[in-house]
Amino acid sequence: MTQKMALKRNHHYLKLGLVVVFLTLVIGYAQAQSKGLPTPSPQELAQVRHQAESGDPRAMFQFLKKSRNLSNEEYRRWLSKSAELGYGPSLFRLAKEEVPAIAPTGTKLMLAPRIVSHKDRIQQAHEHLLSWAKEGDVESMYVLGAEYRTFSNLDISKNNEGIYWLRRAAQAGHPDAPLNLALALFESGDSISERTEGFELVKKQALSGNCISLHLICRAYIYGESKIGLPRDKAKAQEWIDLLAKYCGDDETAIYPIHSRQTK
């Protein structure tokens, strides 16, 4: 093998590794960023603040989500007050922001005692989220679904329960739920039919210009996707690469072995 061929092969493997890392990051927590929320008008923000100041814990949480320039002190004040009133999403956010400590013991790592109370707080927040969701609170439905990996990893609930609540949140109009439902079904669906449904929903998001979804579709057609029985398809991959470049920029295609035709 010539040096040139070896360099080319290594460059390809590097790109493939970057794809895997990228997808791990975007799938891991697209849900946390609330990217679907539009920027609220001053009038809308003032109305939400008025409701928050009147003692509505849901409005308190929405105010801190919608406000772009809250100080850390204000943020903590609204979050703590909403949690004190038993609002599930606030209790969960407070619990999750407290990262469990890890203490070394000899040559092994051992979870510090604090992790027990951390899991207990996540469990308590989950119970409150369920209560609010069953009463029709859309934000609680969304958090139950968007955080399904957290709850599953702690043996609090199962993946399919999270998918159920994401469906409910999407049906109720939560702006971030459709993308996260698509990703959850595609990545964690219990059957080929569920994962295929997720793939089609990801496509729908991609056609609207969502960059995370476009990357997933490009990768699926370039490398194939065994979990839904999808073979490699260079022609379709090229179409999606072109869309990725159109909506997200030519630089986004650099990690793939196929590039946008407009850059050739």
Domain range annotation of the chain: 40-85, 87-174, 191-264
**If pLDDT is split at 50, 70 and 90, which confidence band does 24 have?**
very low
Measured CA distances, 36 to 10, 12, 32, 179, 240 (Å): 38, 34, 11, 9, 22
**If pLDDT is split at 50, 70 and 90, which confidence band does 4 have?**
low
User: For residue 216, what are its two tokens?
Assistant: 């997933």
Query: Higher-confidence residue: 4 or 147?
Result: 147
pLDDT mean over 143-148: 97
pLDDT value, residue 3:
54
17 pLDDT above the threshold of 80 = no
The CA dihedral of 120, 124, 61, 68, to the nearest 10 degrees, is 20
pLDDT value, residue 259:
78
Q: Considering the chain, what is the average pLDDT of its residues? A: 84
pTM: 0.79
pLDDT tens-digit series, residues 54-66: 999 999 999 999 9
Q: How far apart are CA 146 and CA 210, in angstroms?
A: 18
Burial code of 134-149, b = ≥16 C-beta within 10 A, e = fewer? Answer: eeebbbbbbbbbbbbb
pLDDT value, residue 106:
41
Strand ranges inside the chain, DSSP E: 102-105, 108-111
Query: Higher-confidence residue: 25 or 54?
Result: 54
Query: Higher-confidence residue: 22 or 173?
Result: 173
